[in-house]
Amino acid sequence: MRKPKDWGQSCPNPECTHYRRMQQGNVSAIATYLTQSGKRRIFRCHTCVTHFAETRETVFFDLRTSEEKVMMALKMLLVRVDLTGISFVLGVTEETVLAWLRRAAHQAEEINCHLLRALPVTQVQLDEMWNFIERKHACETDAAGESLPDGEDGRQWVWISFAPEFRVMIAAVVGPRTLDTAKEVVAATKARVAGIPAFFSDGFTCYLAALIAAFHVVTTFARTGKRGRPRKPRCEPHPDLVYGQLVKQKKR
Ligand SMILES: [Zn+2]
């Protein structure tokens, strides 16, 4: 009997017994289709009879742009070319580049969820990487320097949590410069590290609140037997939580 070819594909159907399992002999190629980047295949899982495309669950799925162009945009982002520059070079809108980045970030998250667990990290740097879209009205912030959540300015930041010991990016989130995004990146970090590492950041005010939201202890008080309302439980920073801010100042 002919051995089924291993296409490097696994079944994407969570209900299937072969879900995400490689080299089980359940997948075969049944058709091809043409994309901007050439021929791609359609596969079938024989276990659950699901059909799926080669590019599913990738950054490229169902894009009307060539894979090469998307990769180029992502590479330029990595070397910190701003959105305006990328959109000029590739002839696409800034919104399109941002949409690609979101997809890439989402995919990276999926992969990280599987690979990054219980990392023995002792230090984490938190950073908002850069302000993409520099428009004149992008400076609208509240008094604490937070951008307005639904700000019309379209301003997006890339939030990074980074472990310098391993040079590993633990989590990356694209979002506005708000407490909610800070909480998101801290929660994603917490899910991937073992214990409570020491955190360092710039002077952005929201991190402290976000860190306490993730790492705290709740003290409850036993009833005293006396009259009156019992004391409310108190939420305090976890005793192992260490947080330092590095605030740069220019010399006059
Ligand atoms: Zn299947």
> In terms of domains, do 240 and 127 share one?
yes
Q: Is residue 97 part of a domain?
A: yes
Distance (Å) from CA 13 to ligand 1 centroid: 6
Q: Is residue 41 part of a domain?
A: yes
> In terms of domains, do 136 and 220 share one?
yes
Nearest to 145 by CA among 132, 135, 133, 131: 131
Distance (Å) from CA 29 to ligand 1 centroid: 13
> In terms of domains, do 91 and 185 share one?
no
Q: Is residue 237 part of a domain?
A: yes
Nearest to 131 by CA among 147, 112, 113: 147
> In terms of domains, do 10 and 43 share one?
yes
Q: What's the pLDDT band for 138 if we cut at 50, 70, 90? A: very low
> In terms of domains, do 27 and 108 share one?
no
Query: Looking at 57, 78, 96, which one is the last position of a domain?
Result: 57
Identify the residue with better confidence: 208 or 131.
208
Residues 148, 177: contact at Cβ < 8 Å? no
Identify the residue with better confidence: 160 or 213.
213
Q: Is residue 250 part of a domain?
A: no
Tokens coding 21: 């399992």
On average, the pLDDT of the chain sits at: 80
In this model, does residue 133 exceed pLDDT 80?
Answer: no
> In terms of domains, do 89 and 185 share one?
no
Predicted confidence at residue 89, as pLDDT, reads: 92
Identify the residue with better confidence: 187 or 135.
187
Query: Looking at 57, 72, 91, which one is the last position of a domain?
Result: 57
Sheet holding 168-175, edge to edge: 168-175, 157-163, 123-131, 198-201, 243-245
User: What is the Cα–Cα distance from 211 to 203, expressed in whole angstroms?
Assistant: 14
Q: Is 155 helix (H, G, I), strand (E, B) or coil?
A: coil
Q: Is residue 5 part of a domain?
A: yes
Distance (Å) from CA 62 to ligand 1 centroid: 21
Q: Is residue 44 part of a domain?
A: yes
Q: Is residue 27 part of a domain?
A: yes
Distance (Å) from CA 20 to ligand 1 centroid: 9
Mean pLDDT lowest among 3-7, 27-31, 126-130, 181-185: 3-7
How does strand 27-35 pair with strand 38-45? antiparallel
Q: Is 175 helix (H, G, I), strand (E, B) or coil?
A: strand
> In terms of domains, do 233 and 200 share one?
yes
Residues 214, 171: contact at Cβ < 8 Å? no
Distance (Å) from CA 22 to ligand 1 centroid: 11
Q: What's the pLDDT band for 154 if we cut at 50, 70, 90? A: low
User: What is the Cα–Cα distance from 138 to 93, expressed in whole angstroms?
Assistant: 17
DSSP state of 28: E
Q: Is residue 251 part of a domain?
A: no
Query: Looking at 99, 115, 131, which one is the last position of a domain?
Result: 115
> In terms of domains, do 151 and 237 share one?
yes
Q: Which percentage of the chain shows pLDDT scores above 90?
A: 23
DSSP state of 23: S
> In terms of domains, do 86 and 41 share one?
no
In this model, does residue 152 exceed pLDDT 50?
Answer: no
pLDDT tens for residues 42-79?
A: 899 999 988 888 877 676 766 777 888 888 888 887 77
Distance (Å) from CA 51 to ligand 1 centroid: 9
In this model, does residue 173 exceed pLDDT 60?
Answer: yes
Helices 94-115 & 83-90 angle (0-180, nearest 10): 110
Which residue range(s) make up the domain with 135?
123-245
> In terms of domains, do 138 and 239 share one?
yes
In this model, does residue 83 exceed pLDDT 70?
Answer: yes
Number of structural domains (the chain) is: 3
DSSP state of 56: T
Distance (Å) from CA 11 to ligand 1 centroid: 5
> In terms of domains, do 139 and 194 share one?
yes
Residues 121, 165: contact at Cβ < 8 Å? yes
**Top mean-pLDDT range of 74-78, 149-153, 215-219:** 215-219
Tokens coding 173: 């989130």
At 141, the amino acid letter reads T
> In terms of domains, do 152 and 213 share one?
yes
